[in-house]
Amino acid sequence: MSAPRIGVLALQGAFREHIRSLRRCGADAVEIRTREDLDGLSGLVLPGGESTVMGKLLTEWDMMDRLRGLIRDGLPVFGTCAGLILLCTDIIGHPGQPRIGLLDASVRRNAFGRQVDSFTTDLELSPFPAVRPLEDRAAPMRAVFIRAPLIERTGTGVEVLARVNGLPVAVRQRNILAVSFHPELTA
Ligand code: GLN
């Protein structure tokens, strides 16, 4: 079986760390910078960074509609932090911010404070297929939060996979997986 080709949106943000992590997992990880790069992927990662900048560039470089169409058609996508924000239908207080808008959730940007308020915590991630073969139970996972968004509402089709202090930090809706922390910064 050949390695799955996984794209990482590489317009801005922590894309290099995701590429490194994916390659360590045996994936054929590729940087996505143009509309054409989006063809032929088995999956896509939307990294952390600045959701405003990524949304603006996706629109200006004519990638937004294509991206939205692929995800709507079932392309597995994993959004982290700013990537999560881009995926949400509702960005609280920023109605005009460009987004993909397919994850039925309301998110508040920078809800945990400023850069200096960044923190690390261990969390239990509900087993999902990628985790289960390694350990047949919820696996504790180190999570790094950097100016993280807060998921304040989730729609009925959205499953919460992990919480910190009772608040959702990892969610899944069909082919969309999203976390408010930075898994690419830890093992
Ligand atoms: N605060 C950023 C935003 O609103 C997200 C931070 C991050 O991705 N680490 O886009």
The domains found in the chain, sorted by start residue, are 5-185 (3.40.50.880)
Q: Which has the minimum average pLDDT: 84-88, 111-115, 158-162?
A: 111-115
Beta-carbon contacts of residue 44 (< 8 Å; ≥ 6 apart)? 6, 7, 8, 9, 32, 38, 67, 70, 71, 75, 76, 77, 78
pLDDT tens for residues 122-172?
887 766 544 444 444 455 778 899 999 999 999 999 999 988 888 999 999
Q: Which of 9, 99, 146 to mutate to test the pocket of ligand 1 (most atoms within 8 A of CB)?
A: 146
* Known active-site residue 184: yes
- In angstroms, rounded to a whole number, what is the distance separating the alpha carbons of residues 101 and 28? 27
pTM for this model (two decimals): 0.92
* Known active-site residue 25: no
